[in-house]
Amino acid sequence: MIELKSAICPECGGLLRLNSAQTQGTCKSCGTTILISGAPGIKQEIAAWILANQQLEDGNADKAAKYFQKVIELNPEFGEAYYGCFECAIYSAE
């Protein structure tokens, strides 16, 4: 499992939302804006994985599935992305 410290707010521990350029995140809980460490060098599959989880959390299973598929295209060994696709299928079936 990959630990994503850049996706956690250092102020409150909440989840960060990435901007479209994936260079900064905004905490959903406290609103703090954080620059993503290593940006713009953040691995594309990790950025797509974070965006997929954000979409799934927001109830957008179709968009999330597309991001999870992108992760799999970029890194077929990223097991969490396959599970994410499974979660999207379950969410869509409900």
Positions in the chain whose pLDDT score sits under 50: 1-6, 41
* 29-55 pLDDT tens trace: 888 777 665 555 456 787 788 888 888
CA gap 61, 51 in Å, rounded: 12
Contact 27, 34 (CB under 8 A): yes
Task: Supply the pLDDT for residue 89.
Answer: 93
pLDDT value, residue 88: 93
